[in-house]
Amino acid sequence: MQPFQTTLSNKGTVAGVHSIPPPPSASRDDHRPLIVALHGGCYDHQYFDATPNYSASTASEAFGVPFVSIDRPSYGGTSSILPITESSDFYQETGRWLHHYILPKLWSEFGVPNRCNCVVLLSHSLGAMGGIVAAALHAQDDASLYPLGGLIVSGMGNTQSLFMTDAPPSFIPVDDDHTLFPLDKKDTVMFKPGTVDPEILALCERLNTVSPLAEVAQFPAMWLPVWKEKWAPQVKTSIMFCLVEDDPFFVVNEEEMAICVRAFSNSPRVDGSLVRAAPHCMELSHWSQGWYARCFGFAMECSAGYVGSD
């Protein structure tokens, strides 16, 4: 993918990479989404473009769908939203930046010129919170600067696992506001044996990213207890919500999946699925291209449906 960095309306910056296939011929009646990907904690935009074999660019080129992977706020080349005021939290501020500044800019830069008709968010793990908040804010906005057609969530659940409540991983302090996942433990947590190619394991250091401490520290108390009542019911776009069976961070079963799906009570479509045997970082695993194909297919369905309801 091609790198970019651009200035936002609030004078901040957003950075990442993009895959922009040529637009369809003018004679075709195509429904084309712009997929915007939001990485999880301790990763950056490279999560969705790790190697040629484990990149969303393969599906982007195959389906002719533009794809943008960004550094989320407070990561990499995107502006920091720290410090967070006491009246807010990291997830609200991330969603606010996405909705008011980042997504409108990406839409004008990559969506409109490439004949897209809506944005579909692809969010993984700790990236899901900002995506859900942004979708909720979009539903309340009578004059949004971008059209939102759908939201995809993976690697985020409802109930923390015993691993997380009894023996959570220890992070390495970088400074007062940032932390780092220990290299010698990260991949053993993110992947079960036999689920990932050695070429991905060899990239552990490159893919490991300094993360805002607030995102990790606030999660158990300020997101998990409230998201189903405070944020999910406000979302009014289509949802694809996925749990993976070998997720070390969450309890995963059909009942938990049903709880997550029911939370989006005002969404017109909520698809829920449990991927057997897949690890937390499914996008970097043997499931990668199959999962991307499903995400792009859902996004194209959202795009077609968005036109139909417009």
Q: In this predicted structure, what is the pLDDT of residue 28? A: 57
pLDDT in tens, 104-159: 999 999 999 999 999 999 999 999 999 999 999 999 999 999 999 999 999 999 99
pLDDT in tens, 50-68: 999 999 999 999 999 999 9
pLDDT in tens, 184-218: 999 999 999 999 999 999 999 999 999 999 999 99
Q: How confident is the model at residue 310 (pLDDT cuts 50, 70, 90)?
A: very low
Question: CA–CA separation, 68 vs 292, rounded Å?
Answer: 13
The full set of domains in the chain, from first to last, is 2-309 (3.40.50.1820)
Average pLDDT, stretch 30-52?
Answer: 95
Instruction: Provide the 3-class DSSP secondary structure of residue 229.
Output: helix
Q: In this predicted structure, what is the pLDDT of residue 170? A: 86
pLDDT in tens, 73-115: 999 999 999 999 999 999 999 999 999 999 999 999 999 999 9
Residue with tokens 């997504």: 103
Pure H helices in the chain: 57-63, 90-97, 103-106, 127-140, 162-166, 183-190, 198-201, 204-207, 213-217, 219-222, 227-230, 254-263, 288-309
Question: CA–CA separation, 294 vs 232, rounded Å?
Answer: 22
Contact (CB, 8 A) for 268 and 236: yes
In this structure, what are the phi and psi dihedrals at residue 163, rounded to the nearest 5 degrees?
Answer: -55, -45
Q: How confident is the model at residue 307 (pLDDT cuts 50, 70, 90)?
A: low
Question: CA–CA separation, 259 vs 209, rounded Å?
Answer: 31
Q: How confident is the model at residue 29 (pLDDT cuts 50, 70, 90)?
A: low
pTM value?
0.96
Return the half-sphere exposure (C-beta side, CA atoms, 13 A cut-off) of residue 170: 2
Instruction: Provide the 3-class DSSP secondary structure of residue 121.
Output: strand
Pure H helices in 70-182: 90-97, 103-106, 127-140, 162-166
Respond yes or no on whether the N-terminal peptide bond of residue 83 is cis (omega within 30° of 0).
yes
Q: In this predicted structure, what is the pLDDT of residue 1? A: 97
pLDDT in tens, 233-292: 999 999 999 999 999 999 999 999 999 999 999 999 999 999 999 999 999 999 999 999
Copy the structure tokens of residue 292: 């991307």
Question: CA–CA separation, 172 vs 158, rounded Å?
Answer: 26
